[in-house]
Structure 1
Amino acid sequence: MFTVDAPEVSSVREGPWLLTPGERYGSRRRVRRTGPEAVLFDRDGTLVEDIPYNGDPERVRLMPSARAAVDAVRARGIPVGVITNQSGLARGLLTHGGVEAVRRRVEELLGPLNVWAVCPHGPGDGCACRKPAPGLVHAACAALGVDPRAAVVLGDIGADIEAAKAAGAVGVLVPTPVTRPEETAAAEHAAPDLLTAVRALLGGPDGSAGAP
């Protein structure tokens, strides 16, 4: 059962909203493994198809290889999180209930995830959490008990990669048709799909891990 660290009725200028399991992952003793200590996925355009301001769980569709990629990370015992800008909240186009309904549907399709960090602000609000700012990465890593420098962020646009870099994490771009050419050109690490990206992060046949 997930708890929400933000009330149903609150100013969207508060945040980020943190959706976490009742037991914080960081409170559990973990066996140290090679590779990243946390993998954080962007939501729209990375894990699920990007439908602007979607609060309808019936419209949620997974991106290609999303389930296989998440399963591969989970099988290594590495915590999995989601970091997502949801400016529809600030614009009055989304409600907290809609965001939560979509989260539940995503987890029905992907299985349970360890943490969600949601920015409810608009582009002009000047918050510290809206990507490309690092606040969502910091919040998710804090909930997981992981140093951001040991985390990897996967996303489909430059703001995801910039947020990772600002937090000290590794960013991996998984381009889609909406990714601008200059974003792809600027990405230090990129992969054609999520599963390829995750396999590179988790290591090849020799067990060594590294960024794509």
Structure 2
Amino acid sequence: MHSPDRLVILDRDGVINRDSDEYIKSLAEWIPYPSAIQAIARLSQAGWTVAVATNQSGIARGYYTEATLAEMHARLCHLVAEAGGNIAHIAWCPHGPDDRCHCRKPHPGLLAQIRDALHLGELSGSWMVGDSLRDLQAGDAMGCRRVLVRSGKGERTLEKHAELEAPESDTLVFDDLAGFVSWLLGDEKRGNKA
């Protein structure tokens, strides 16, 4: 049974794997951060549910196919399983920015898909981890707690939105996914509710 306060939702490009302004167009270009794969496994082993919400407008732009995306996600799930972890659900949006869909972040449609797939009534109290403001905005719409990582486009996001690092900000900032997971699980061990 999944619980919203034991759910971590991850953006993909820049959080789990290297990002590229030229898009990740093939399995060969999909290069995971080894520390991120280990971090997902650590979460699973500690009883957390992990899901992924990823915009993939490269499909709408004709850069790659849904079959290629499926190969990337199969590889991701295989690597995580090899490390002793599990990804409960991957939700992805194939649309471009002008398609007016409800799934493309910053809209919350992908998170709603995750909520429904995992049979959760709500996502309030879940964590949304991303490297861009739109990841955090999608999480906000569903009541998620916000985490920004500096990997991927995270440094660029912080340059544009310095308020995310302000002391009064409700956004937690970490160097990468591994840093967040170490904090989250360490906090848990100390008996503090994250």
Q: TM-score surpassing 0.5?
A: yes
> How far did 1:183 drift?
3.3
Contact 1:152 1:169 survives alignment (8 Å): yes
> How far did 1:65 drift?
1.8
SS of structure 2 residue aligned to 1:200: helix
Which residue pairs with 1:98 in the alignment? 68
Aligned length: 179
Aligned pairs for 1:20-169 within 5 A: 29=1, 36-51=5-20, 52-63=22-33, 65-111=35-81, 112-146=86-120, 147-169=122-144
Aligned-CA RMSD value: 2.0
What is the distance in 2 between the residues matched to 1:182 and 1:133?
A: 20
User: 2:142 matched to 1:173?
Assistant: no
Change (3 A) 1:151 1:204: closer
Gaps of 5+ in 2: 166-170
Change (3 A) 1:109 1:136: same
- TM-score by length of structure 2 reads 0.83
> How far did 1:170 drift?
1.1
Gaps of 5+ in 1: 1-28
What is the distance in 2 between the residues matched to 1:98 and 1:201?
A: 33
- Bigger mean CA deviation after superposition, 54-63 or 86-95: 54-63
Contact 2:126 2:144 survives alignment (8 Å): yes
Contact 2:13 2:152 survives alignment (8 Å): no
1:3-34, CA deviations, whole angstroms, 9 ceiling, x for partnerless residues?
Answer: xxxxxxxxxxxxxxxxxxxxxxxxxx46x7xx
- TM-score by length of structure 1 reads 0.76
Q: Which ranges of 4 or more aligned residues in structure 1 deviate by more than 3 Å?
A: none
1:151-210, CA deviations, whole angstroms, 9 ceiling, x for partnerless residues?
Answer: 111111111111111111112000136332133532622112212212333324423231
Which residue pairs with 2:191 in the alignment? 207
> How far did 1:115 drift?
0.2
Contact 1:165 1:171 survives alignment (8 Å): yes
Identity percentage of aligned residues: 32
1:17-54, CA deviations, whole angstroms, 9 ceiling, x for partnerless residues?
Answer: xxxxxxxxxxxx46x7xx93211111100000113432
Change (3 A) 1:177 1:78: closer
Which residue pairs with 1:185 in the alignment? 163
SS of structure 2 residue aligned to 1:68: helix
